[in-house]
Amino acid sequence: MSTYSSLNGHGEPRATALYEKSNILNVSKPGRIASIVSGAMLTTSAISNVDKHPFRSLLRLITGGYLLYRGISGNCPVSAAASGKRLGDAHAKALNIRKKLIVDKPRAEVYAFWRQIDNLPLFMKHIASVDVLDSYHSHWVVTGPAGIGKVEWDAEVIKEEPGSLIGWRSAAGSDIVTAGRVNFSDVPGGTAIEVNITYRPPARYVGKGLAWLLNGAFARIVEKDILSFKHFVETGVITI
């Protein structure tokens, strides 16, 4: 197994569970770092002085917990309540696509075809192009239903088990958060693959013209594209 760590993340934190569950991303990166540091200091102080000053320690623990939440999630409920929630600030729910299918080809062949990432536009119509930059990096361009809307980003392979697993995600600083994972396993009659792909627009995605990423029509296109993989690998014919 090989796991790839990003070289171009510049220390930028990835999305966390609290980020995913928060309603608004309204804290800047410096503000998040400051909140985490302050929260950790207050929490440590509260725990170490709980016997001497229980009431004061409780207040510090509550404040420290709030600051830690603010820093980790990027969401400040106090600021959100004061300013009011604006259209497009709310996190968009991720579009999650999961498909399982069996391909009548040996696992090594199926894996090798998918691992050559610039093969994906051959059978995935929603992917306009994938330019391979090196073994781990690539540049993706995706179009919306009927060719309306376009988004592009740099992606990186983050986990690989040759012949069994490949995982990738959008690089730090991309306009959207997207990730994918494909598992390959031997079954009677060929290779079973399990595909998981997630797309998520950023805050203010409506203003950026990315609302089509949440469209059911786009989800159906992606699902159909995944099913087209079986036909393409088995026959070499592109489905319409």
Q: Are 149 and 156 in contact (CB under 8 A)?
A: no
Q: Whole-model pTM above 0.75?
A: no
The predicted pLDDT at position 211 comes to 66
Q: For residue 80, how many C-alpha atoms fall within 13 Å in the half-sphere facing its CB?
A: 16
pLDDT in tens, the chain (240 residues): 443 333 333 333 334 444 444 444 556 667 778 888 888 888 888 888 877 778 888 888 888 888 888 777 666 766 655 555 443 445 556 778 888 999 999 999 999 998 988 888 888 888 889 999 998 899 999 887 777 778 888 999 988 999 999 998 888 777 778 888 999 999 998 999 999 888 876 655 554 566 666 667 777 888 888 888 888 888 877 665
The predicted pLDDT at position 89 comes to 46
Q: Are 58 and 176 in contact (CB under 8 A)?
A: no
Domains belonging to the chain, first-starting first, are 17-83 (no CATH), 95-235 (3.30.530.20)
Count of C-beta atoms within a 10 Å radius of residue 237: 10
The predicted pLDDT at position 10 comes to 35
Count of C-beta atoms within a 10 Å radius of residue 43: 19
Q: How far apart are CA 15 and CA 71, in angstroms?
A: 12
Q: Radius of gyration over alpha carbons of the chain, in Å? A: 22
The DSSP symbol for 12 reads P
Beta bridge partners of 52: none
In terms of Cα–Cα distance, which of 185, 118, 121, 184 is closest to 157?
118
